[in-house]
Amino acid sequence: MNFAMWKKALTVIPNVTKEEWDRLDIISKWLISTRAAVLVMTFLSAVLAGLFALHDARQGNFTVNPFTWFILTLGLILAHAANNIFNDFTDYTRGVDKDNYYRTMYGPQPVADGLLTKRQHLTYFGITGLLALVCGIYLVIVSGGGLTWLLLALGAIFVLFYTWPLKYIAMGEISVLIVWGPLMVGGGYYVLTHVWSWNVIWASLPYVLGVTTVIFGKHIDKLLIDKAKKIFTLPVLIGEKAARYAVLAMMGLPYLLVVVLIITRYFTPVLLCVFVAIPTFLKLYPQFLKPKPETRPVDFPDGQGGWPLYFAPQAFVNNRAFGTWFMLGMILDVIIRVVFPYFWIK
């Protein structure tokens, strides 16, 4: 077991040669194939779903089952992993990853790089997707069905059809906003509490907007080549400059939303801890004020992947910083509500 590679694959998307790949254990291969470094975004969404449930538990007169929360988290991570595998397979079979496309440059594309055969790649997808489905069926059973069936079906649709046709018709970014917000956080909250809450959807926006910046940044990085391949992402439609400023707006707005949610007493002031992430934002935002440089800057940070991705890794670093503090703030918020319930609960 190559624990060093596990750790590396969970933090960046490592480049490996065929010889290195052949020496890796099955878990390392799976982590690299699923682009496991980005799965942290789904992990945080699942954790937030449970924290929102704990946030409302006393007022809503319900409890949160830890095992159900664990299965929810595992299922969402496996579904995201299955989507990433299927994304690569779909793009490869459609010929998108030919001609030195970005996906083959910032990290290994298992099929295009000859690391896996098409059959092996589909096997990875099938097993991962099946395990995600098993988790989903369990959640349907424990939640009594109802809306959970719809949430499961919507999740399957996004897994199977995100790469094509949604990404091709400027629905990729909107899909991410829907999946990581209403579907993961809102749906996860429903599975844990049996209650649908629009308050949770709005309150999750500070984090979900950050996730959306990552896919926005990735599509800005690939704008010219996507346009040539007739992949009409939102940055292709609205233009490179407008897309960069849209990302900046989505990076800054979460701080304002947190303040509003504190003023309206949905959150306690402890959520102001997210402002600890401001230095990361201030360090990265100047890069979004100008077009991508033609060569890799010396101080370019490795986050989601590597050059020639430029805006996506920086959006990932920013979202990871904000998301981590948002999660920690939610944990402290829940603790405060347990210790001082009569002061904070309306």
pLDDT at 69 over 50: yes
pLDDT at 36 over 60: yes
Task: Give the C-alpha separation, 64 to 71, whole Å.
Answer: 13
Over residues 338-343, the mean pLDDT reads 66
Predicted local distance difference test score (pLDDT) of residue 303: 44
Helix 66-93 to helix 40-60 angle (10° resolution) is: 150
* pTM of the shown model: 0.86
* CB-based contact 64:54 (threshold 8 Å): yes
**pLDDT tens-digit series, residues 177-209:** 888 888 899 999 999 999 999 999 999 999 999
With cut-offs at 50, 70 and 90, classify the pLDDT of residue 99: low
With cut-offs at 50, 70 and 90, classify the pLDDT of residue 21: confident
CA torsion sign for 200, 163, 156, 86 is negative
pLDDT at 115 over 50: yes
**pLDDT tens-digit series, residues 125-144:** 999 999 999 999 999 998 87
Between residues 78 and 116, the one the model is more confident about: 78
Query: Which two three-digit tokens encode residue 154?
Result: 């919507």
pLDDT at 263 over 90: yes
Task: Give the C-alpha separation, 205 to 254, whole Å.
Answer: 7
With cut-offs at 50, 70 and 90, classify the pLDDT of residue 304: very low
CA 296 distance to own-chain centroid: 25
Over residues 25-53, the mean pLDDT reads 91
C-beta atoms surrounding 145 within 10 Å: 11
Predicted local distance difference test score (pLDDT) of residue 98: 60
Q: Percent of the chain beyond pLDDT 90?
A: 45
Predicted local distance difference test score (pLDDT) of residue 63: 85
* CB-based contact 112:97 (threshold 8 Å): yes
pLDDT at 104 over 70: no
Predicted local distance difference test score (pLDDT) of residue 193: 92
The domains of the chain are located at: 26-344
Query: Class assignment of domain 26-344?
Result: mainly alpha
DSSP summary character for residue 164: T
**pLDDT tens-digit series, residues 205-238:** 999 999 999 989 989 998 888 888 888 899 999 9
- Pick the range with the lowest mean pLDDT from 92-96, 102-106, 330-334: 102-106
Q: Percent of the chain beyond pLDDT 70?
A: 92
Residue appearing with tokens 């295009």: 112
* CB-based contact 136:155 (threshold 8 Å): yes
* CB-based contact 109:88 (threshold 8 Å): yes
- Pick the range with the lowest mean pLDDT from 28-32, 147-151, 201-205, 230-234: 147-151
Query: Side-chain half-sphere of 150: how many Cα atoms within 13 Å?
Result: 8
* CB-based contact 47:184 (threshold 8 Å): no
Q: What is the DSSP string of 230-272?
A: T-B-HHHHH-HHHHHHHHHHHHHHHHHHHHHHHHTTSS-GGGG
